[in-house]
Chains A and B, each alone.
Chain A
């Protein structure tokens, strides 16, 4: 089959790759661009494990052909942290134990990003409904919801980082 040259602007970096039209966006991100943080859970659109932001909006990259994203800006979990500094969402997921196996986590984080960007002050119920688009098989969602609310608070500048004494930072390890 013919290949198409497409350009994806992923986490601010533009890359041109040559792909078969049938290649799923998630596979192009993982295989052609080496960004393994976006995971595959079901490949039929239900679980949300493959969630990325396309033009600022969450989508399922397992039911999107990469050619459909030609020219678009994409954000993935790899773009969240700023070097050694975790994004507040990542930091709060860590503190609140909003993950266990970590497999749903990148998709959850990206969906949470969109939720907070659309509504910087969501109620726990709104977060619950918002993340209901993504399955997590481990956590039962409760600590994810707590983490998203706490991160939103921090991003609004209302809440402080958690106590560093009992919560040593990543860099220290």
Chain B
């Protein structure tokens, strides 16, 4: 699966939960939201190999 966060992209193998994917790329599950096909998903979802997951940083603004 493909993980996109800000201007970074990671390619991960296997069927793993979104939560594990977030940790694998070194981010905090509490600090991001995950979207697939433009929809918000919970992080227990198991991402399929051809899924693209976009992560949104929850901190922003001044």
The answer to whether A and B belong to the same complex is no
Question: What is B's interface to A at a CB cutoff of 8 Å?
Answer: none
The residues of A with any CB-CB pair to B shorter than 8 Å are none
